[in-house]
Amino acid sequence: MAASLFKWFAVYAFLFSYNGTKNNFIKEDIVKHPLYVTVTEINHNAKDKTLEVSCKIFTNDFEGALEKTLNTKVDLAEPKDKVAADKLVNDYIVKHLQIKVDGKPLTLQFVGSEKEKETEATWTYFQVNNVPSVKKVDIINNLLYESFNNEINLIHITVSGNRKSTKLDYPATAASFEF
């Protein structure tokens, strides 16, 4: 559902970026879209005792947030230095997404990132090892809040096949889930 919802938001944003000129779509117009949404997926893998975390963020919005908060321009689609770009992505996400499981703060370990062409979004992947069980998850998520005061952060968590979701509208940052 998150993927289809995110695609709907992308199509909506794309349609409202049409400017009617012979160029049809201008990069500046695409940056200004009516919805600002991130999707965070968290999955507890009981077999491997890991927490798998992925975040999907509109690429142009993400690049803008990186530039604004880290004072560095980055092209996530075709970075000149992939290692440096990955470090910027990691630094941003771990600053703006904190997770506690059963009261214990977790340290996200960066796995990688990739750009999804069909939605103009960037996926980032993290993992936390040594998470044998999950009863309660507390999340602080303020992704892109420094850039957009109408940001929506969707969060989906799956533990033992039980999926729960919530939506954080700016300025709300905290969510808790019990399993």
Return the pLDDT at 118: 86
Q: Domains, the chain, ranges and CATH?
A: 33-178 (2.60.40.10)
Return the pLDDT at 31: 52
Q: Phi and psi for 59 in degrees, rounded to 5?
A: -60, -45
* Strands 104-105 and 97-101, bridge-based pairing: antiparallel
pLDDT tens-place string over residues 1-22: 555 444 444 444 443 443 443 3
Return the pLDDT at 21: 37
Burial class (CB in 10 A: 0-12, 13-18, 19+), 127: middle
- Mean pLDDT: which of 10-14, 30-34, 119-123, 155-159 is highest? 155-159
